[in-house]
Amino acid sequence: MSEFEKPEMEITKDEAMSAYKKFVDKGITTPDKLDLDDPEVIEANKKFDQWRGQEDKKAAGNPELELRNDLNKTMFYVDAGFTDKDYLEEVLDDWLAQDTLDVGKQAGDPERIKTRDLYSEATKKIRNLLKEKSK
């Protein structure tokens, strides 16, 4: 790194998500409806990519952290507030279902049990959101 280059500041998940919450506040319910040419969307995507990249680096080489990181990325837009029924079903039935299979079962491993619990909580959260949408 040259003396003129500044290291990238670390960004938190909340900071990255807040960039998307403004779109949710405008009534956009799925990330698929974001205008990729909008400067605000470009900036939000940049923050998401930065957060995702730094989290991938932190988790690299640690299977438990990699699984938890996958869950955080899978839930990112849900946690940001996107609640479109079709989008939630896709997250639940495709991404989360596949990720849950990857978690597998390792009886007696407290870290894996914690990871499975996190996946279970995420599944419940999406199911509850879907129930609210069907009322």
Q: What DSSP assignment string belongs to 111-132?
A: HHHHHHHHHHHHHHHHHHHHHH
Are residues 89 and 32 in contact, defined by beta-carbon separation less than 8 angstroms? Answer: no
Three-class SS state of 83: coil
Three-class SS state of 63: helix
Q: Residue 5: is its pLDDT beyond 70?
A: no
pLDDT band at 76 (very low <50, low <70, confident <90, very high): very high
Tell me how far apart the alpha carbons of residues 52 and 69 are, in angstroms, rounded to a whole number: 9
pLDDT of residue 22: 94
Q: Residue 45: is its pLDDT beyond 90?
A: yes
CB count, 10 Å around CB of 7? 6
Are residues 96 and 122 in contact, defined by beta-carbon separation less than 8 angstroms? Answer: yes
Q: Residue 6: is its pLDDT beyond 70?
A: no
Give the CA distances from residue 83 to residues 52, 91, 119, in Å, rounded to whole numbers and listed in that order: 21, 11, 18
